[in-house]
Amino acid sequence: MSVQGWQRLQAAEVCSASQDNQNKPYTLEQLSERTGLSVRTLTKIRRRQQPVDQPSLAACFAAFGLVLEADDLIRQISDADPTPIADPPERLLQVPLKGQLPVDSLFYIYRAPAETLLTREIAQSGALIRVKAPKQFGKTSLVARGLAQAESVGFRTAVVSLQLADSTVFGSVSQFLRWLCAMVTRSLGLADRVEEFWNPLLGGSYSCNDYFESYLLPASASPFLLVLDEVNVLFQYPEVSADFFGMLRAWHEQSRHDSETGEWQKFRLVLVYSTEIFVPLPIHQSPFNVGLLIELSGFTQEQVQALVTRYRIASAEPYAAQLLNLLGGHPYLTQLALFHLSHQRITLNELIQTVAMPNSIFSSHFNQQFGYLEAHPELKEAMRQVVLSPTGVELYPTIGLKLRGMGLIRFQNEFAVSSCVLYQNYFAKVLGN
């Protein structure tokens, strides 16, 4: 069973237990009676350390109203390196969820067809996938699932977050590319040979290309998946980003048109970013107009309702409707609210009434967003106009797209409005004066 299959089955089991078993986890004996499978088979399914025949998996899925799909299966699971079993919900509920969710987390919400598109595209030679969404919308958690699938079939993978780079790294194209090569080398567990391949006379782009083509790619016959996270950091350094993005486009073209025995056939690339691209690039040199774009949106009411049930909160439907209105489906804020509600640290009415107060559970998030606006006065003024206008305002395109990239606004036709009641109430209070 794949990570997606395990997560779907676990989530359905929890939902069923909350409705039909007084919110208590099913015992193996109860599951055996419900599914018609032996306790031994169910133990194998839950541990995911030994293969289980497809009819048994289908029966287990059907017992909880699910249909076994192709993406719920993988061909083989290694006994030596099994996928970790998810912690019981009681342990997962001890701290608020933030950052990347574990690949088998009960609280990850699948937003089809994003997961399927990602895993299928990664399998293609020459793949270039762009994952775009505002911060804290689940980009990294989505990509983690693609990485897990790729690694399960023998891919080599490297993840490089540009947010980890010091400002000095972006001093020149050559400096940045040397840093990138060193980070990828480290991720792959190889010896660092950057100095050996670097030729200042030929330039950083050529040297980086040679390092990948002559050293990193030939190091194994396995396909290689490179994930570049927080790519939007580079948008602040146009002198570096123009050459770098042009090189990425060249790599994509090489991997698509390389011979079947060529090293670039192994290469796949995922770019993860949260804002629009404002780097002026010739059309034929941009990696942002080729490949597959996966753009994540906020949760729907159905998805929020499923999450409410997984947090074992009664009255899922009315809670979901009110949370969606308040938070606009923002994935992280929804998770944070449900964590506090599930622990009865605050009631839903108290949550709604105190959202803009200094002691709000969202205060840390507000501070981050407001701090960014303070550092960019043009964005702060634009957001002030948005929250003070009852019908929305027209914004200069670049400004509007940056605010949308922060998740603060959405567009109704050509007018910008707050993306949710939470932001409207808070920013109207702090910017209204």
DSSP tag of 231? G
Which of 246, 267, 295 delimits the end of a domain? 295
Report pLDDT for 84.
Answer: 36
Residues 393 and 276 occupy one common structural domain: no
Which of 257, 276, 295 delimits the end of a domain? 295
Report pLDDT for 105.
Answer: 81
Quote the domain boundaries for residue 52: 3-85
90 in a structural domain:
no
162 in a structural domain:
yes
331 in a structural domain:
no
369 in a structural domain:
yes
Report pLDDT for 23.
Answer: 65
Rounded Cα distance, 61 and 68, in Å: 6
192 in a structural domain:
yes
Residues 119 and 42 occupy one common structural domain: no
Report pLDDT for 75.
Answer: 47
341 in a structural domain:
no
255 in a structural domain:
yes
319 in a structural domain:
no
Report pLDDT for 82.
Answer: 34
Report pLDDT for 350.
Answer: 87
Report pLDDT for 264.
Answer: 94
CATH code, domain carrying 274? 3.40.50.300
CATH code, domain carrying 77? 1.10.260
Residues 184 and 229 occupy one common structural domain: yes
Residues 137 and 216 occupy one common structural domain: yes
Report pLDDT for 89.
Answer: 46
What SS3 class is residue 302?
helix
Residues 6 or more apart in contact with residue 124 via CB below 8 angstroms = 268
Give the residue ranges of the chain where pLDDT is below 50: 75-94
pLDDT digits (tens, 9 = 90+) for 173-206: 999 999 999 999 999 999 999 999 999 999 999 9
Residues 47 and 150 occupy one common structural domain: no
Q: Percent of the chain beyond pLDDT 90?
A: 52
Residues 411 and 262 occupy one common structural domain: no
Which of 295, 330, 345 delimits the end of a domain? 295
Residues 121 and 81 occupy one common structural domain: no
Domain count, the chain: 3
Residues 79 and 126 occupy one common structural domain: no
Residues 60 and 130 occupy one common structural domain: no
Residues 78 and 148 occupy one common structural domain: no
Residues 126 and 68 occupy one common structural domain: no
Residues 71 and 218 occupy one common structural domain: no
